[in-house]
Each structure stands twice: as structure tokens, then as C-alpha cells.
Amino acid sequence: MKNYEHRKGSITIKVYSENKTPLPKQELSIRQKNHQFLFGCNGFELIPYANDQLEGAAREHTEKYIEKFLGLFNSVTLPFYWGQFEPEQGKPRTEELANTARWCKEHNLVTKGHPLSWHTLAPGWLLDMSNEEILEKQIKRIERDVKDFTGFVDMWDVINEVVIMPIFNKYDNGLTRVCKEMGRIKLIKTVFETARSINPEAVLILNDFDISPAYDILIEGCLEAGVQIDIIGIQSHMHQGYWGVEKTQWVLERFSRFNIPIHFSEVSLVSGEIMPSHYSDLNDYQVEEWPSTPEGEERQAREVVEFYETLFAHPLVEGITWWDLLDGQWLKAPSGLIRQDCSPKPAYEELRKLVREEWWTKESTFITDQNGHIEFTGFLGEYEISLEDKKASFALSDKDSKEISIYL
């Protein structure tokens, strides 16, 4: 039985009337509205909907997708791949992404931008520039986008997959050249400090798929160089098979030594055939179709539950982002939690039971004592307290005071 007590908090709630008189012997109800822990998913399919670009069957399909998305997740990752965000120099898709980020905020989703710097999907117009010019453009890009999205996107994968960046050799992209010349740590320090200077309150993440000691060494070097990493991002695309508890705990143990919060930033498990293990780059696996199977869906559900239970039990893990809610996206893989018709797979239902039932504080009634106080314990997150038709909100956080005053 895993221990989740570190995911809970206790607080004394002092209940007063609007004129600040204590309210003894009153019956109140408290219900949870949201988790503090970030249960997320990439939300690329939200962009055309938020920009009113869909109609007919396509809109109806996306509305079903959104129903499933909001029924499970409280955070979203939006795409800021530079080459797609600004395919033509000086003409970024700011309005389109801003509309989407605004929609996400209105639906109480914590939004992360992914990524500000990455050698893959870098714009082609960088290629004719010198390394100095490319770096200058990269810095200006970060300054512009972090500023434009402050208040809507306050969490960023600042730089992505730096371990491989200077030795990436599949094609020229500009940023690989810059990273090779500057060195990984100097580039990381530059882009982190640039983002921090524009939005000092932003949560800044170093993200990578490489879980070898090379990533440990890179993080160590960054910290020694004074880089302020708010969160360590770890990708876990398990198209070639589930890691299992032992490997997952091994990864957690290694990266916990830095005592920095951890996000599992890109999680996927397939419900069809497992990708052959000899593919070192998952992108090289190209198939016409990759169907989900009943047996695979049952396996996926078991693995999803075990993986999330293992991560949720670890005190440094603060977020898990599933990659592709819908089947058939990246690599055509059956790695979604819902099928292409938006019907939920067993993995969706089992994960929802965890997030919205087992790890969710049930709505309860309380009677205030003679001083108008109640003692409350629940999962960390946002709550609503009600007295007849009067309501107020409060947050239960491990960082807050152990008592609060509520006026109803």
C-alpha cells in the first residue's frame, strides 16, 4: 500500500459572518475543486477550437475530446515549437496561441509552453545566419514570447533535449551549431536567464528524454554554474515497453538527489504492439497503421495505474503530463487514453478513478465548534466552503499557514 499522506494537508478554518462575528454550531459543507498536483496532457487539438476554426463534425468531435480532457486534467501543454510558431521570420502565431492560452485559463487549466529553445523544429530561416545571429534571434524570441504570454503561460520548458543537442547529426538546424560552439551549460544559462529576466515569477523547466548519467551530469553542471532550475523535466515515452516499478524508482532516486521538484513531462504507454527495441530514435519507426487491441488496452490500463501510483507516492514529483489524449497522433501510436472516436479506453477510466476519486477529497459536512472553528484534512488543492447559499474559496497548500479565516 503506497503512502500518499504527503499529498494531504490539515488546517484550522475559522468561520465568521460578514461582520466578523464567529459562527459557532453551524453546519458547513466543503468540496474539492482542483488538485495542487498537476495532472496534465498536451492540448494541441485545443488550438483550432479555441480559435473558432472548426464546424460540423470536426467541431463535434473536438467537443467530445474537450469533455474527456476537462474530466481528467487540470494542466495543459501548448506547442511553441519555433519553426511552427514562427515559420516566417517576424510573423509568429501569437494571436492563435494567445487565444488558446486564454481559453485554457478560463477553464482552470495551468498552462505550460513547450519549448522556448529546441534544435528540432527550429525555423529553417536560421540556417543562413551566423551562430552569433542565431543566438541573438533565440534570445529575442524568448524575450518576445515570455513577455507576450505572461499571465496566461507562466510555466515554460525553457530548453528541450540539450543532452543530444550539440551532437545531433540528422540535419542542420542552427541551434545545434550554437550549442556546439557555446557548450550546453552556457547555452542553458543564457536562455534561462533571459526567460527569468522577462518574467521573474515564471516556473522554468529543464526538460530531456535522456535519463542516462549524462543528464545527471548536465544538471549538476548547471547548478554549479548558478542556473536556477525550478523543475527537472523527465520524458518517459514508453512505446518500447513499460519501464516497470523498479526502473521508475531508479530514475526517481537518481534525480531526487538534487532536491528539485520533478515533472514527468511527456508520458506515453501504447495499447497495441510494442515498438521493437532496436530503434534508438522513436521517430525512425514509421508504420502505415498502429492499431489498438483489446489485450493491449487492458495492459495499458494496468501500466498507467502502476506508473501514476509510483510517481504520486514520491514527494518530489509535482506533475505528470500524458502525451496525446487521443489515439493515432505522434507516430500514429495507440498511445492515447481515448480512441479516435473519443470513447474512453480502460486506461482513461482507471486513471480518472485515481485522480477524481481515490486521490480526491470527498465532499463532507462539518459542524463548527463553540468558537466557530473546524479542523479540516484533505488532498492539497482548491476548495469551496458553503453555508446555506453563501460560498467562499480557499486553498490547502503545504506552503501556507495552518489556519485561515473564512467570512460567509
> Are 352 and 382 found together in one domain?
no
Residue 143 confidence (pLDDT) above 90: yes
Do 86 and 53 lie in a common domain?
yes
Amino acid letter, 361: T
Q: Are 8 and 380 in contact (CB under 8 A)?
A: yes
Q: What is the pTM of this model?
A: 0.97
Place of cell 524568448: 142
Name the residue range of residue 16's domain.
5-33+362-407
Task: Judge whether 78 and 41 are in contact, CB under 8 Å.
Answer: no
Do 329 and 270 have their domain in common?
yes
Element (H, E) at 173: none
What is the band of 53 on the pLDDT scale with cuts at 50, 70, 90?
very high
Residues 27 and 169 in one domain: no
CA 330 vs CA 22, 220, 334: distances in Å: 57, 32, 9
Q: Assess whether 112 and 213 both reside in one domain.
A: yes
Share of the chain above pLDDT 70, in %: 99
How many structural domains does the chain have? Answer: 2
Grid coordinates representing 345 are 479506453
Cβ distance 381 to 360 under 8 Å?
no
Q: What percent of the chain has pLDDT over 90?
A: 98
- The pLDDT mean for the chain works out to 97
Whether the Cβ atoms of residue 106 and residue 49 lie closer than 8 Å to each other: no
Q: In this structure, which amino acid lies at residue 134?
A: I
Nearest alpha carbon to residue 271 among 332, 217, 215: 332
- Please check whether residues 47 and 102 belong to one and the same domain: yes
Count the Cβ atoms, other than its own, within 10 Å of residue 149: 23
Q: Do 214 and 348 lie in a common domain?
A: yes
* Type and span of the H or E element at 121: none
- Same structural domain for residues 20 and 65? no
CATH number at residue 248: 3.20.20.80
- Is the separation of the CB atoms in 292 and 334 below 8 Å? yes
Q: What is the mean pLDDT of residues 67-77?
A: 98
Question: Are 27 and 46 found together in one domain?
Answer: no
Instruction: Work out the pLDDT band at 2, boundaries 50, 70, 90.
Output: confident
302 shares its domain with 386? no
Task: Please give the backbone phi and psi of residue 407, each rounded to the nearest 5 degrees, phi first.
Answer: -115, 120
Q: What is the pLDDT of residues 169-200, one digit of tens each?
A: 999 999 999 999 999 999 999 999 999 999 99
Q: DSSP letters along 331-378, please?
A: GG-S--SB-TTSPBPHHHHHHHHIIIIITSPPPEEEE--TTSEEEEEE
pLDDT at 400 over 80: no
Whether the upstream peptide bond of residue 115 has omega within 30° of 0, thus cis, is: yes
| Rounded CA separation 12/28 (Å) | 14
Residue that finishes a domain, picked among 333, 358, 383? 358
Do both 256 and 378 map to the same domain?
no
Distance in angstroms (rounded) separating the CA atoms of residues 171 and 231: 30
Residues 227-242: what's their mean pLDDT? Answer: 98
Give the pLDDT confidence of 85-101 residue by residue, as tens digits: 999 999 999 999 999 99
Report helix, strand or coil for 294.
helix
Answer yes or no: do 196 and 283 share one domain.
yes
Phi, psi of 368 (to 5 degrees): -65, 150
| CA atoms of 260 and 213, how far apart (whole Å) | 17
Mark 329-358 as b/e (b = at least 16 C-beta within 10 Å). bbbbbbbbbbbeebebbbbbebbbebbeee
Domain boundary among 326, 342, 358: 358
Q: What is the pLDDT of residues 331-362, one digit of tens each?
A: 999 999 999 999 999 999 999 999 999 999 99
**Domain with 370 in it: what CATH number?**
2.60.40.10
Say yes or no to pLDDT of 285 above 90: yes
Task: Return d(Cα 134, Cα 177) in angstroms, integer.
Answer: 9
Query: Residue 256 pLDDT more than 70?
Result: yes
